[in-house]
Amino acid sequence: MIARKEPYVLFLDELNACSQEVQKAFYSLIHERRIGEYYLPEGSIVIGAGNRSQDSAIVKTMSSALINRMFHVQLKADSKQWLSWAYEAGIHPWITDYICQRPDHLFSEPPKTEEPYSTPRSWHMLSDALTESGAGRKELSEEYLRILTYGCISASHAGMFLAYTKQMKNSHLLSDIIKGEVKWPSKPEERDVLYFLAQSFRAQLLHELPKNKQKMNKNAAYFTHRAKALIRDLSQINYEIAQMVVSAEEGNVLPDWFMMEIVRDLPRLASEFQNGR
């Protein structure tokens, strides 16, 4: 056997899915970088990976001896990094555009029941299905898209993604609504599109409204004026969706000065929002 001088990077995938007898065999490899009498070259790294038991994955209990031999890092899906990869990997443009608008939908916690849920892997699966079906090059039926989408990702995300595909027929719909050229969709069959537009509108509020009102320019002042009018119009169509626009969600809160104006101009909407906080 020819001795290797360059360091190794050994990756032990699904480490906590193997039996404890196999785990025990890794004690010396992980801690001492050796297998029997053979020592890995200087600088070698051993990396173990596995799912978590709280994610309903099939895992074996890791012994305290193995746990104590490792440095533990919890990994989370990062939308910016995933999108950088997705553009290079040729992920379907519908999906990259959607995740750009809703980065919080890239990952969801596994449900307690046996049903699809959103992960970078499942979005990749949906991308492959859309590409193979010719989505974007030819018209796909709504029912067919529904089957593909609900078969890959979380039901709540699937509904929003389908609403996104519907409003793609007019990609400038939200900007036209803000300009006052068209109104919010109000038909019952357009409720999912309304919800998606309201979510996008909230994201735009969070992005464009300055934290300090004194720093507002003319464009921001016009946007603020239109935003209050649009929230009022939205509350007349669907009160719950209007409340969602101004609610606090995962630490994302609209500026205090804007909420004060909402309290002044739309007291009922603001009071019910405050009571629910």
Residues 266 and 185 placed together within one structural domain of the fold: yes
Residues 100 and 41 placed together within one structural domain of the fold: no
b vs e for 176-210, b when ≥16 Cβ sit within 10 Å of the residue's Cβ? Answer: ebbeeeeebbeeeebebbbbbbbbbbbbbbeeebe
Residue 72 lies in a domain: no
Last residue of a domain, one of 115, 145, 170: 170
Query: 155: buried, middle or exposed (CB in 10 Å: 19+, 13-18, 0-12)?
Result: middle
Residues 192 and 218 placed together within one structural domain of the fold: yes
Residue 74 lies in a domain: no
Cβ neighbours around 151 below 10 Å, total: 13
Structurally, the chain folds into a number of domains equal to 3
pLDDT digits (tens, 9 = 90+) for 224-266: 999 999 999 999 999 889 888 888 765 678 888 998 888 887 7
Question: Which residues, in sequence order, are CB contacts of 205 under 8 Å at separation 6+?
Answer: 227, 245, 254, 258
Residue 226 lies in a domain: yes
Residue 180 lies in a domain: yes
Please tell me the least confidently modeled range out of 72-81, 150-159, 248-257. Answer: 248-257
Residues 166 and 177 placed together within one structural domain of the fold: no
Residue 98 lies in a domain: yes
Show the tokens assigned to 11.
Answer: 């990756």
Residues 165 and 92 placed together within one structural domain of the fold: yes
Residues 40 and 62 placed together within one structural domain of the fold: yes
Q: What is the pTM assigned to this prediction?
A: 0.61
* Euclidean distance between CA atoms 164 and 95, whole angstroms: 10
Do residues 184 and 230 touch, judged by C-beta distance below 8 A? yes
For 103, phi then psi, to 5°, come to: -60, -20
For residue 45, the enclosing domain spans: 9-67
pLDDT digits (tens, 9 = 90+) for 175-227: 888 889 889 999 888 888 888 888 888 888 888 888 888 878 888 888 899 99
Do residues 263 and 270 touch, judged by C-beta distance below 8 A? yes
Residue 94 lies in a domain: yes
**Residue 138, helix vs strand vs coil:** strand
